Amino acid sequence: EVGASASPEHGLAELHVHIEGTLEPELILELAERNNIDFPHSDLDELRARYEFTELQSFLDLYYANMDVLRTAEDFSDLARAYLARAARAGVTRAEFFFDPQAHVVRGVPLTEVVEGLSDAVAAAHREFGVDAAMIASIVRDHPVPDAHEILGELLRLQAPIIGLGLDSAEVGYPPSLFEDVFARARAEGLRITAHAGEEGPPEYVWQALDLLGAERIDHGIRSLEDPALVARLVDEQIPLTACPLSNVRLRVVDSLAVHPLRRMLDAGLAVCVNSDDPAYFGGYVDDVFAALHDQLGLTVDERNTLARNSIRAAFT
Ligand code: HPA
Ligand code: ZN
């Protein structure tokens, strides 16, 4: 059954998921109450009615607003545990999730609360859920560049147990080139590098992520298909692309799942895998992604196995 969990003999890695994007509406309301926050949308139906997006920015507005309920280490730990439990049910054996430290620090949440809460869940993940978990700090690219330097310095000073540095948030107008020095420092510190590029931004941003940031993986990268020389490079070097088909549909990067270029990417020999991105916002976890690809793109068992194998190969292990 293609839509069910991962092929158990090989496992499945989820490499492109933002932990703040796993914040379900029910948990938002629960944390608002726990933290005595007067959340503006206190009714589940009223909250859910807002999950209609026209492009990346309209999603990001809600994503950053909703995370206001995350205040304490316990909140972050509960958030990550809920994701890891659900990911385990989806067949995930390895999870490398992003978090956005700047998005919390600007709200006055101490970085130590964020890191302690998340790392507590990560440390227990194998025992509690059978998932091998790790964290990647992500630079919020539409914040000032000096803030990126500062947050990396803080993470290093705290010896936060992160395995890598990523780059996310509003893409167009914020090219990877802005962050060359930040990523050079991260590499020098032994961090693995990945970057969102070619989601809404042009192929040029993918080239920059590779050549200027030293990205070992590209998150999304779907617009790479517009540039044959870039596709040749990605195939040649087998650079993993962490595709997120449900996200692409909900953020209108593609018109529908039926016309998603995933099969074209596989057929071109790209090292593509599939992920949920922000499962609380885009219609499901990675098992739901596979099920939708089966139903609407006719994804075969062989293709499914290739995607799972690609995900394991692309992991930073
Ligand atoms: N794209 C860019 N930044 C993000 C996303 C995304 O899909 N989700 C959370 N931050
Ligand atoms: Zn993403």
Q: What is the pLDDT of residues 179-216, one digit of tens each?
A: 999 999 999 999 999 999 999 999 999 999 999 999 99
Closest protein CA for atom 3 of ligand 1:
169
pLDDT at position 1 over 50: no
Closest protein CA for atom 6 of ligand 1:
169
pTM exceeds 0.90, yes or no: yes
Q: How far is the CA of 271 from the centre of ligand 1 (A)?
A: 21
pLDDT at position 97 over 80: yes
pLDDT at position 177 over 70: yes
| Structure tokens given for 81 | 């545990």
Pocket residue to mutate for ligand 1, from 97, 219, 248, 278, most atoms within 8 A of Cβ? 278
CA distance 144 to 200: 20
Q: Are 166 and 17 in contact (CB under 8 A)?
A: no
CA distance 210 to 114: 29
pLDDT, tens digit (0-9, with 9 covering 90-100), for 273-296: 999 999 999 999 999 999 999 999
Determine which one of 171, 199, 216, 303 is catalytic: 199
pLDDT at position 6 over 80: no
Proximal ligand: closest to the CA of 218: 2
56 lines ligand 1 (CB under 6 A): yes
Q: Are 196 and 205 in contact (CB under 8 A)?
A: no
Closest protein CA for atom 2 of ligand 1:
169
18 lines ligand 1 (CB under 6 A): yes
As a whole number, mean pLDDT of residues 113-124 equals 98
ipTM: 0.96
- CB-side exposure of 19: number of CA atoms within 13 Å? 33
pLDDT, tens digit (0-9, with 9 covering 90-100), for 198-207: 999 999 999 9
Q: Are 119 and 111 in contact (CB under 8 A)?
A: no
As a whole number, mean pLDDT of residues 111-140 equals 98
Pocket residue to mutate for ligand 1, from 169, 174, 223, 241, most atoms within 8 A of Cβ? 169
pLDDT, tens digit (0-9, with 9 covering 90-100), for 25-62: 999 999 999 999 998 877 999 999 999 999 999 999 99
pLDDT at position 9 over 90: no
**Rounded mean pLDDT of the chain?**
96
Q: What are phi and psi for residue 314, nearest 5 degrees? A: -85, -10
Weakest mean pLDDT among 3-12, 81-90, 169-178, 236-245: 3-12
As a whole number, mean pLDDT of residues 96-102 equals 99
Closest protein CA for atom 7 of ligand 1:
277
Q: How far is the CA of 298 from the centre of ligand 2 (A)?
A: 24
Compute CA distances 280 → 20, 69, 86, 136, 303, whole Å.
Answer: 9, 15, 11, 19, 26
CA distance 147 to 266: 38
Q: How far is the CA of 1 from the centre of ligand 1 (A)?
A: 30
Q: Are 2 and 21 in contact (CB under 8 A)?
A: no
CA distance 16 to 274: 8
Q: Are 152 and 185 in contact (CB under 8 A)?
A: yes
Q: Which amino acid is at 194?
A: T
Burial of 54 (0-12, 13-18, 19+ CB in 10 A): exposed
As a whole number, mean pLDDT of residues 102-125 equals 98
pLDDT, tens digit (0-9, with 9 covering 90-100), for 53-93: 999 999 999 999 999 999 999 999 999 999 999 999 999 99
pLDDT, tens digit (0-9, with 9 covering 90-100), for 239-271: 999 999 999 999 999 999 999 999 999 999 999
Q: Is-catalytic flag, 199?
A: yes
The structural domains of the chain, ordered by start, are 13-314 (3.20.20.140)
Q: How far is the CA of 17 from the centre of ligand 2 (A)?
A: 6
As a whole number, mean pLDDT of residues 104-129 equals 98
Confidence of residue 122 (pLDDT cuts 50, 70, 90): very high
Q: Are 256 and 249 in contact (CB under 8 A)?
A: yes
Residue 243 bridge partners (DSSP): 274
